[in-house]
Amino acid sequence: MERSSTASCEEILRNKQVILREHVRGLLREADMEVRDGSVKLKVEDGSSGAMWVKNLYLSCEPKTRRLVDTIRPGSPITGFGVARVVDSANPKFKKGDLVWGITGWEEYSLIASSETFFKIEHTDIPLSYYNGLLGMPGLLAYVGFFELCSPKKGESVYISTAAGGVGQLVGQFAKSLGCYVVGSAGSQEKVDLLKNKLGFDKAFNYKEEADLDAALKRYFPEGIDIYFENVGGKMLDAVLLNMKSHGRIAACGMSSQYNLEQSEGIHNLMNLILKQVRMEGFLVSSYYHLYPKFLETVLPHIKQGKITYVEEIVEGLENSPAALVGLFSGHNVGKRVIVVSRE
């Protein structure tokens, strides 16, 4: 195969990177990361079959990035999902100039050794940043967790935690389009208003203002919850287990309350899974990549017809990404947080 390359691939370029300084135990701090300049030669070495260099454009800033931090060797860039343009390729699936999304580095340029986690972006009439959210990993998570795992029915009662985030806001709209009763929780009044007034949730509440989560859920779901889309874990999951209906379903997408703890919190009400015959299932997006074409067929028409609202929060520049990531765990974001590396 004739390898696609760029005319300037021999040129040595600056490569700004967000580096993990040391292994993190417990709470992630800005000081655990460092923004520094490296250098790269944008040329795939001979014999590196399947590799490609990409120029990162947009990076996804989400709670799950905290989990990825635990897998990174100190001195290496933070990794996560992102949107990029191929600048040199020895991969038959991708050529120079292709727009792609997948797992990349928090840096200006990344060498991708394996393309298993990458998808070519075919629909460029939609904002590219959406492939970090609505049309990327969060969107696929929302689709799989709700439709494939929970098998929803019209009229059922659906509860979503972290409902104003990149995944939760979509699950709520999917549920409403099916005719479900939908309640979401979030960590500020601004987010509660967003859920009710812009995203179409039936009701929403600020969990930080509820001294008794069990009582709060009974207030919003007097007859119980059919489907819970789990993003938080901990005390919230414990309260939900007390309020599930018989044969309810729980899609465990994430447990953000646990990511920064040295010792995870225990769950006390698991007996309800048995007594109420509730099915709870965890899932990883990587196990459902084969459904991505089906997901696009479902979602793209709704986007183009204006039937889906998507809220993004844009952070400009790699230098601001450590604060952007740490701020997620204090609830500073409204909507899906995206870091702009380059607008080309």
Confidence (pLDDT) at 265: 83
> Which helix or strand (DSSP H or E) is residue 77 part of?
none
**Calpha distance 295→135 (Å, rounded):** 9
Residue with tokens 């989400």: 62
Residue with tokens 């005390």: 235
**Calpha distance 31→27 (Å, rounded):** 11
Segment 208-232 mean pLDDT:
96
Digit-coded pLDDT (tens) for 294-342: 999 999 998 988 899 999 999 999 999 999 998 888 777 788 899 999 9
Beta-carbon contacts of residue 38 (< 8 Å; ≥ 6 apart): 14, 15, 16, 17, 107
Digit-coded pLDDT (tens) for 167-192: 999 999 999 999 999 999 999 999 99
Confidence (pLDDT) at 9: 52
237 contacts 273 by C-beta, under 8 angstroms: no
pLDDT score of 153 more than 70: yes
Task: Read off the pLDDT band of 10 (50, 70, 90).
Answer: low
State the chain's mean pLDDT as an integer: 90
Write the Ramachandran bin of 111: left for phi over 0, alpha for psi from -120 to 50, otherwise beta.
Answer: beta
